[in-house]
Structure 1
């Protein structure tokens, strides 16, 4: 079975993607838009978000800018209210907003530092964004989906190796926490007809989380953000109805489909 899901029509599907002004978030948002979905690109307000929204709208895509700070309950609540008022429904939430190891150690790829050299503020800052942020956003939008009686949440995570790698505190724990959060969310929301799945690239990706000056020193090929497009379209579509609690690697998406026999 070598079925492709890149040509699915997502017309009429309303989606929020957090951390969507660059990197994986932007690649997923644009892929969903080009599949016909209406997408709110959630990110901290600023020129970067504005420029992407203008570019996507100029291309005739149904893109909206949604200013959101995933660390702020007030900001998230305002975004949810905008969705209720403007769209009236939300089909899919993609939790993607996050910061990387460079925020605590700019040379993390070539000079890993032990956990006892990580500052408490650096640890809290990353956990508050990468893990607590996922919780806060899902907590705010889940009631809307419960009221609808349907909805899909997709939490972006990373390789298990990243959760065990030397010098990767606090990023590793943040993504390990994301996975536990996802499994429990899937069970909590199962009775309401809402699915929760995880998607990861499957390797190191060429995004802003890796400083430009370090990319040439990395001895493994970096995945392009577009690797996320086909699996995110599948997960956002009715082809994934009923699938919940799954952890899917974009790099191994075809193999996962074959094994699952969807």
Structure 2
């Protein structure tokens, strides 16, 4: 499938001159977010874990639209790899101004089968990895007195789901990390916010066992907006948080779920 980006005049590219690092950027929400940030003018770093073909497809779309970027494979559970990722970004396209913590995994494991290793592994990729990326990018943000950190959580952080206890716990951790980090970094011109997606239609859901897939009509019935959520819906919220328009918005969590969980 060919990916395209809208051609926008410079006046409509509020992130021109900024570098955005998106983790889990080769597919789904991450790929849509990367394309949207590039359309807003950002130079993008497409971080992925051994998804080279998909990442290069996203990068080609970015370049066809007149933006630029790089793709980097990195295991975010390895602290040294995270340090190298951020260092490579800085040397090739510039220090990271915008960090989107999107990478994650949600294997379905029943509570009684969730042993210590499984628990640690799921929390590592869905929470601790994001702490590592924040730690790696914030020194340069503090030096420049500007930065945007956007965490991608999930409605499962608030409602839970059988088989996703560790995942839901990790995503809830992001809801605690966000306001705490916002207070730490606010004096340095850095905002920290969270986007909380609902049921978003991505290709990865096709890899789930049939008995774990929610029927689309059942999900739509829970929402106020009667359609499936799309990765681009989440990407639009990320671009807002990354933009100059959100300079006074921090420590917030924004649900992009079609009204599934009204505040």
Question: Normalization by structure 2: what TM-score?
Answer: 0.81
**Alignment of structure 1 residues 51-200 onto 2, 5 Å:** 51-100=57-106, 103-105=107-109, 113=110, 115-159=111-155, 162-200=158-196
Q: Which string of whole-angstrom CA distances, capped at 9 and with x for unpartnered residues, describes residues 88-126 of structure 1? A: 3322111111001xx244xxxxxxx3x122233222221
Q: How many angstroms apart in 2 are the aligned matches of 1:93 and 1:161?
A: 21
Contact 1:227–1:251 (Cα < 8 Å) also in 2: no
User: 1:153 deviation in Å?
Assistant: 0.5
Relative contact order (alpha carbons < 8 A, sep ≥ 6): 1 or 2 greater? Answer: 1
Contact 1:163–1:171 (Cα < 8 Å) also in 2: no
Q: Could you tell me which of 236, 244, 247 is aligned with 2:242?
A: 236
Q: How many angstroms apart in 2 are the aligned matches of 1:143 and 1:252?
A: 36
Aligned-residue RMSD, C-alpha: 2.4
Q: Which string of whole-angstrom CA distances, capped at 9 and with x for unpartnered residues, describes residues 57-111 of structure 1? A: 34433232122221111111111112222333322111111001xx244xxxxxx
Q: How many angstroms apart in 1 are the aligned matches of 2:146 and 2:159?
A: 32
User: 1:182 deviation in Å?
Assistant: 1.4
Structure 1: 5+ residue stretches without partners: 1-6, 106-112, 257-262
Within the alignment, does 1:206 sit opposite 2:208 as a pair? no
Q: Could you tell me which of 10, 14, 26 is aligned with 2:19?
A: 14
Moved more, 31-40 or 158-167: 158-167
User: 1:10 deviation in Å?
Assistant: 2.2
Q: How many angstroms apart in 1 are the aligned matches of 2:86 and 2:150?
A: 17
Instruction: State the secondary structure of the residue aligned to 2:105.
Output: coil
Q: How many angstroms apart in 1 are the aligned matches of 2:38 and 2:215?
A: 34
CA 1:164/1:251 → structure 2, altered by over 3 Å: closer, same or farther?
A: closer
User: 1:28 deviation in Å?
Assistant: 0.7
Q: Paired residues, what number?
A: 238
User: 1:52 deviation in Å?
Assistant: 2.6
Question: Normalization by structure 1: what TM-score?
Answer: 0.82
